[in-house]
Amino acid sequence: MIIAGIIIEPWASLTNDASAFQRRPYRKLPGNYRPISLLSNIGKIFEKIILSRLKEECHDLSIIPNEQYGFRAGHGCIHQLLRVANTVTQGFNHKFYTGGVFLDVRKAFDRMWHNGLIYKLIKFKIPNYLIVILINYLKNRTFRVKLNHTLSDIGSIKAGTPQGSILSPLLYTIYTSDFPKTNQIMNCFFADDTAILAQGSTINYVIHTLQKGLNNIEEWCTLWRVAINTDKTHAVMFRKGTSRKELNTLSFFDEDLTWDKEVKYLGLILDDKLTFRSHLKYNTEKFWAKVHLLIPLIGRRSPLTLENKLLLFKQVLRPILTYAAQIWGLAAFSNRKKAQILQNKILRIIVNAP
């Protein structure tokens, strides 16, 4: 079947359970439902084989750009965040301005253009047998929606890759591997989380460079049918000092992008001074919310052993506080001290210390 490029039809059918990922409290809005794909077990095994071979080809042909840190061995969110933070920090050291635009790709996997993907697979010289398999994998795919106990009629899928499929992330990465590169622009990717950075000695130069980058991205998105949610796309000018100079707005898809004081990127809140105050405040609130849920298990009256309490702390609570500590560790001691005090307080409760 692999050499012949055949996929048995039932392997390509799936059920999208719309109720699994509904975003409360807006249940009546269809756009707030994120479907998942329930694939057959045999189909999953077949996908894993194809994924292994496709990864080898991508590596041998150097298809995946170095700026892409998603779904790659030895790469993770922290590495990309370090790359961004180091660039901004170096700019501060040289008294440069660093502008960043953080893009929100609308339904990245769901909207992927099948013909465009196949064209790129051919262009990158992926072996024919894999291309034939992927054509059969994408075409004639059906779905139906399950809401509570009701099933819809069967429909056909014209675009996108299955949510939940292990092939989807790599196919999306291949599809976006020719994302435009602009002089003096640093591209940052983690799967569909995309950002561009520009740096210079003057604000006007940075804005002009970013605008050129956005113009190129707009052309590319139009050509390859990639949709950007401009309402959730944020621009931040990282700079030291207290300058109140009004910044010229950026234009993207006939809309103005306003300049924000901070942005959340890959789970880390980056403020324009890189103090990380907002991130630590957010983490503290998130930490306490989780503590209130776990207090019956880790509190002084809990019947759990100390070993199990510490296990809950290490596996559930501590990761909230320490996420991206490699980056926000640069923050002022007063900010870091708050996180340490919070951790000490919970540990005293866990070990039943005064």
Amino acid at 237: M
The reported pLDDT for the residue numbered 340 is 86
The reported pLDDT for the residue numbered 158 is 79
Give the mean pLDDT of 99-113: 92
27-68: pLDDT as tens digits: 666 666 666 666 777 878 888 999 999 999 999 999 999 999
The reported pLDDT for the residue numbered 27 is 64
The reported pLDDT for the residue numbered 44 is 82
The reported pLDDT for the residue numbered 4 is 46
Tokens found for residue 241:
């000092």
For the cut 80, the answer to whether the pLDDT of residue 331 exceeds it is no
- Residue 143 pairs in a beta bridge with 155
The reported pLDDT for the residue numbered 31 is 65
Give the helix, strand, coil percentages of the chain, each rounded to 5. 45, 20, 35
Lowest mean pLDDT among 103-107, 166-170, 237-241, 332-336: 332-336
The reported pLDDT for the residue numbered 26 is 57
Whole-number Cα distances in Å, 302 to 137, 334, 342, 344: 52, 33, 20, 18
The reported pLDDT for the residue numbered 19 is 46
Rounded distance, CA 101 to CA 213, Å?
10
Report yes or no: 191 and 169 within 8 Å, Cβ to Cβ.
yes
The reported pLDDT for the residue numbered 138 is 85
The reported pLDDT for the residue numbered 253 is 95
Rounded distance, CA 103 to CA 233, Å?
5
User: 18 pLDDT band (50/70/90 cuts)?
Assistant: very low
User: 20 pLDDT band (50/70/90 cuts)?
Assistant: very low
287-310: pLDDT as tens digits: 999 999 999 999 888 999 999 999
Report yes or no: 103 and 233 within 8 Å, Cβ to Cβ.
yes
Rounded distance, CA 101 to CA 236, Å?
7
CA angle 54, 57, 61 (to 5 degrees): 145
